[in-house]
């Protein structure tokens, strides 16, 4: 995929490629960027949405966990990471 760098954030680390955050490391898990086009890939593959509590409410973010089975399959893990990077690129375009 290219050179990935990590930056501390929210008590975890954001993973960046080409100045785009495509993954989050937190609580011993990796969470990949999702959107309407790839959310199903992650959920159907056993991932779950990243959530946190704020003012007594659960808030879901557009990041999805990488299940153990995906960690064991290098090609699938790379495919999921590439999908996360594509979602980050789509999200950047929408904000412009």
What is the pLDDT, as a whole number, of residue 41? Answer: 96
The mean pLDDT value for 65-87 works out to 95
Mean pLDDT of the chain: 92
What is the pLDDT, as a whole number, of residue 7? Answer: 94
Superfamily for domain range 5-95: YgaC/TfoX-N like chaperone (3.30.1460.30)
What is the pLDDT, as a whole number, of residue 95? Answer: 64
Task: Using alpha carbons, select from 8, 67, 75, 74 the residue that is nearest to residue 32.
Answer: 67
What is the pLDDT, as a whole number, of residue 11? Answer: 85
Q: Please report, for residues 45, 67, 88, 94, 96, the alpha-carbon distance to residue 78 in angstroms, rounded to integers and kept in the order given.
A: 14, 13, 15, 25, 28
What is the pLDDT, as a whole number, of residue 96? Answer: 57
Q: Would you kindly state where each structural domain of the chain is located, as residue ranges?
A: 5-95
For 9, residues 6+ apart whose C-beta sits below 8 A from its C-beta are 24
Residue 74, number of CB atoms within 10 A of its CB: 9
What is the pLDDT, as a whole number, of residue 63? Answer: 96
């Amino acid at each position: 995929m290219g050179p990935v760098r990590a930056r501390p954030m929210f008590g975890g680390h954001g993973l960046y490629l080409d100045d785009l955050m495509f993954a989050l490391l937190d609580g011993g898990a990796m969470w990949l960027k999702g959107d309407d086009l790839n959310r199903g890939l992650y959920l159907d593959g056993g991932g779950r949405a990243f959530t946190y509590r704020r003012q007594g409410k659960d808030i879901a973010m557009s990041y999805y966990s990488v299940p153990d089975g995906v960690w064991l399959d290098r090609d699938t893990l790379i495919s999921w990471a590439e999908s996360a990077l594509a979602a980050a690129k789509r999200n950047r375009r929408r904000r412009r």
